[in-house]
Chains A and B, each alone.
Chain A
Amino acid sequence: MRTLLEVSGVSVSFDGFKAINNLSFQIAEGELRAVIGPNGAGKTTFMDIVTGKTRPDEGYVIWGERSVNLLKMSEAQIAQAGIGRKFQRPTVFEDQSVFDNLIMSLKNDRGPLGVLLYRRSARDNERVQELAEEIGLTDHLHRKAGELSHGQKQWLEIGMLLAQEPRLLLVDEPAAGMTLAEREHTTNLLKQAAKTRAVVVVEHDMEFVRRLDCKVTVLHEGSVLAEGSLDHVTQNQDVIDVYLGR
């Protein structure tokens, strides 16, 4: 499998505190990966760096087969290049309908003029219907997103990410605050998504990670502590120390 994203030797510090310390990380095309780690391990900062929100002090981030340097791109350009990001808390446009939320996310021209003159095609309508079905919101298409339940909002956001047709999906704690049934649905969604693209899931919940059944990377104090299957890393002495010891 070809490498899709390569992060190497990245460090960043805030007021002297090293949030990310010489982190190197790779993900291949179509791979599903879980990233775990205690609070303050640098999981969110890692996502911030990949998506362009935070500029690292050193290191580089290389993307795709043409080896583009992501550090020189803006957030919007990175998103257009094919990296989707889901935030910890569900962030959908609550004032707008589910339909509009999805239409806005569909992979189309992002320039102001193109958007202004945009006319919905039959294909776009179809795509929205498909996505709605996939995330289980077909009946809610014309409700305002703000009226949805917490879980539905999470799915809507995942649906919006899928609408972008990214090649890499970064998902921050998708299962937080969900009921058991909702979790199952979420797991399926992510597994489904990972069939056609790479997905990185940051998660606290070991049960959820086990269900994803994928390679796991353990972060600690801003760098990779261990990598491998879940069983492999949970037997690693360093990981046990970090999670249980201290």
Chain B
Amino acid sequence: MKTARFSFLLGLSLLLMALLVPQPIQAQTIQDILQEHEEIIAKGSRRTIQPAIDALRDSGLPEAQRVMELWQDKALWQRKDDKQFFLTEPLEGRTLQLIDLISGQPVGTAEKSDLKQIKPNSGVRGLIGAALVQFQLMDPHPLTRRDSLIAIQRDPKPTHLPALRGAIEGETDPDLKALKERLERLLTITYGETDAERIIAIESFAGDLGVDARAALNPILTTTRVAVTEASDVNIARQLTPGQNDFTADDAYALLIAENLAYPAISNDEKRLALVANVVDGQVAGFAVETLNTYEARDQAYSALAAEGLVPADVTRAAQQKALQRHEFYDVYNEPSQAVTDAARGTLQAIETRVGLNQTADLALDGLSLASIYFLAAIGLAITFGVMGVINMAHGEFIMMGAYTGYVVQLFIPDYTLSIIAALPLAFAITFAAGVAMERTVIRWLYHRPLETLLATFGISIALQQLAKNIFGTQARPLTAPGWLDGAWVINDVVSISYIRIAIFVLALIFFALLLFILKRTRLGLEVRAVTQNPKMAASMGINTDKINMLTFGLGSGIAGIAGVAIGLFAQVTANLGSGYIVQSFMTVVVGGVGNIWGTLAGATMIGSLQKIIEFFNPSNTLAAQTYMVIFIIIFIQFRPRGIIALRGRAAGD
């Protein structure tokens, strides 16, 4: 303790000493520098001003930044007789108080007519601003430096590039230095002076996953569609032939019209209006109105009108075709240098390849997380279905009960972390009890009548859903995740996964392990497996099948409750919460294979990843994804009617 405090004091005093050491005395004052460049400052021309700005920027004087800011803000005044620079404050009349640039003290007064205000034009102000950026980039405070970097990143300008370059060398913070160097390369891509340096910068981003890199590269490859009579000296992306590759003849002609290279054809609508305007005594140019109910007839009538000079002549298809033949059509890069566009294309391709790989990884993570949700939702069902052959349509409502338990617990325990910890076992207990109650009162009378179990549990399901609506109302209730579950684990700009999903994944793993342990390593598991495989034999060996059935059903329902809490964390808690998962859960069980935890795992993984893959190819339409999903499952069952992991042989029954 003592030595620690001592060394702390030592460090403090060393720091103080460092601060108190006097700065080396400068040979030049700020006024000297200004005087040196007095002429060009007073002139204020964008073309000649740079030496003055450079001198100020490189002076190393502490007040240089402030003076430049004042200069930019048109606050500098010059005394006409000795050319000295001052700040001013208005006194009465036309008299101004002069203030020293360095000390900030009043140093006398002057008449306004004896002074000249320095008013830099916008060009000069821009140059000063760029120099000021460099001050910010070299600010002693790292946070300021970072902020200014972020500001540049958001809204880069060509002037930032030299400032940034000047600010790299003196950077001491390695993180910030890396950031500056990266930003410098990004700016060079867009604003670099020579193609060579731009190409080097472009190629340095090959395989970089940053969104900023793609954002800087993509604009280089933007194209403009042009129609020309002959190709001139432009950077051509590709030549277009009307009528090929999505470039229809109509598109081509529209382009000609847009570039004033052709007259627009008269549309069917315009023709109709023209005809309507020229109806005379039930006739248009000699054609009876009643006959004008085909486009051909209208074309004839319109041509007749045009021949009379009443309407502009139509451009015929043949004429359009000729116009198209006279022109060539190109997509032209906005970037004139072909070397640069080639480099950008190559680099982007390299990036896309890596992005593709990483997207696959991201997709895998997404699929895994969805799979763990399905696993949690389905495993309880798999247990009851597998062990007892009972289809529990109310399983979804047990999930809903779990979610509402979480909500009610949060009403009493305001701390989100504690409330979740309390809700998990409570949800298990409540749904366990509900499951046992249901097994005792309904299901055990219906063993060997699976279809009727399905219907009876469905009756329970609709009753429970309506009860939940009556108790909690129809609007969604929140179940808030604790703060430490907010946010996401970001691996790079492409791959990331939210903490809630990780937590659910972990929860699923825990339950998978726990169930495996219970079924494979405990007495209960042994008895459960015995009842699964041969209930009669199990009963004759002294196993209380009644009790086993009850416990199994309770266990399956209890896990549904836990799944409910987990699902409630990211979904809205409503009375219909469970019914949204019930079909998916059945699919998971059926696809995976009945009576096997590994099967459920396989089923959940398959359905989860498949859904994500389909969504990836058709991201705008999750409904379609689910449709294809179900169709796929129907077809899958054709080939593996008993699921991925199936019991085979006589044990599987008929």
Interface residues of A (CB under 8 A from B): 14-15, 17, 19
B226 to chain A, nearest CB (A): 68
Residues in chain B near residue A15, CB distance under 8 A: 648-649, 651
Q: Is B650 at the interface (CB under 8 A from chain A)? A: yes
User: Which residue of chain A is the closest to B647 with respect to CB atoms?
Assistant: A15
Q: Which of B608-654 contact A (CB under 8 A)?
A: 648-651
Interface size on B, residues (CB 8 A): 4
A40 to chain B, nearest CB (A): 11
Give CA–CA (A6, B39) in the complex, Å: 119
A-B contact count (CB 8 A): 9
Residues in chain A near residue B651, CB distance under 8 A: 14-15
Residue among A14, A17, A19 with most chain B CB within 10 A: A14
Known A14-B650, A15-B649; 7 more pairs at CB < 8 Å: A14-B648, A14-B649, A14-B651, A15-B648, A15-B651, A17-B649, A19-B650
User: Which residue of chain B is the closest to A48 with respect to CB atoms?
Assistant: B650
The 5 A-B residue pairs with the shortest CB-CB distance, nearest first, are: A14-B649, A15-B649, A15-B648, A14-B650, A14-B648
Give CA–CA (A202, B651) in the complex, Å: 22
Give CA–CA (A15, B650) in the complex, Å: 10
Residues in chain B near residue A17, CB distance under 8 A: 649
Give the interface SS of chain B, mostly helix, strand, loop or mixed.
helix
What are 9 A-B pairs at a CB distance below 8 A?
A14-B648, A14-B649, A14-B650, A14-B651, A15-B648, A15-B649, A15-B651, A17-B649, A19-B650
B184 to chain A, nearest CB (A): 67
Residues in chain B near residue A14, CB distance under 8 A: 648-651
Give CA–CA (A14, B652) in the complex, Å: 10
A213 to chain B, nearest CB (A): 33
User: Which residue of chain A is the closest to B649 with respect to CB atoms?
Assistant: A14
B285 to chain A, nearest CB (A): 67
Give CA–CA (A19, B650) in the complex, Å: 10
B39 to chain A, nearest CB (A): 100
A192 to chain B, nearest CB (A): 31
Give CA–CA (A17, B649) in the complex, Å: 9
Residues in chain A near residue B649, CB distance under 8 A: 14-15, 17
User: Which residue of chain B is the closest to A53 with respect to CB atoms?
Assistant: B654
Give CA–CA (A14, B650) in the complex, Å: 7
Give CA–CA (A15, B648) in the complex, Å: 7
Give CA–CA (A93, B473) in the complex, Å: 51
B654 to chain A, nearest CB (A): 8
Give CA–CA (A198, B289) in the complex, Å: 90
Give CA–CA (A17, B650) in the complex, Å: 11
Residues in chain A near residue B650, CB distance under 8 A: 14, 19
Give CA–CA (A19, B651) in the complex, Å: 13
User: Which residue of chain A is the closest to B652 with respect to CB atoms?
Assistant: A14
Give CA–CA (A158, B37) in the complex, Å: 123
Give CA–CA (A19, B648) in the complex, Å: 13
User: Which residue of chain A is the closest to B648 with respect to CB atoms?
Assistant: A15
Give CA–CA (A91, B41) in the complex, Å: 112
User: Which residue of chain A is the closest to B654 with respect to CB atoms?
Assistant: A53
User: Which residue of chain B is the closest to A54 with respect to CB atoms?
Assistant: B650
Residues in chain B near residue A19, CB distance under 8 A: 650
A41 to chain B, nearest CB (A): 14
B598 to chain A, nearest CB (A): 16
A56 to chain B, nearest CB (A): 13
B643 to chain A, nearest CB (A): 16
Give CA–CA (A17, B648) in the complex, Å: 11
A11 to chain B, nearest CB (A): 14
A7 to chain B, nearest CB (A): 19
Q: Which of B460-482 contact A (CB under 8 A)?
A: none
A43 to chain B, nearest CB (A): 13
Residues in chain A near residue B648, CB distance under 8 A: 14-15
A57 to chain B, nearest CB (A): 12
A2 to chain B, nearest CB (A): 34
Give CA–CA (A43, B649) in the complex, Å: 16
A87 to chain B, nearest CB (A): 11
Give CA–CA (A11, B486) in the complex, Å: 60
Give CA–CA (A85, B318) in the complex, Å: 80
B173 to chain A, nearest CB (A): 66
Give CA–CA (A114, B422) in the complex, Å: 67
Give CA–CA (A14, B649) in the complex, Å: 5
User: Which residue of chain B is the closest to A44 with respect to CB atoms?
Assistant: B650
A196 to chain B, nearest CB (A): 31
Give CA–CA (A103, B43) in the complex, Å: 119
Residue among A15, A17, A19 with most chain B CB within 10 A: A15
Give CA–CA (A15, B647) in the complex, Å: 9
A201 to chain B, nearest CB (A): 22
B555 to chain A, nearest CB (A): 27
Q: Write the B271-308 contact mask toward A (1 if CB under 8 angstroms, else 0).
A: 00000000000000000000000000000000000000
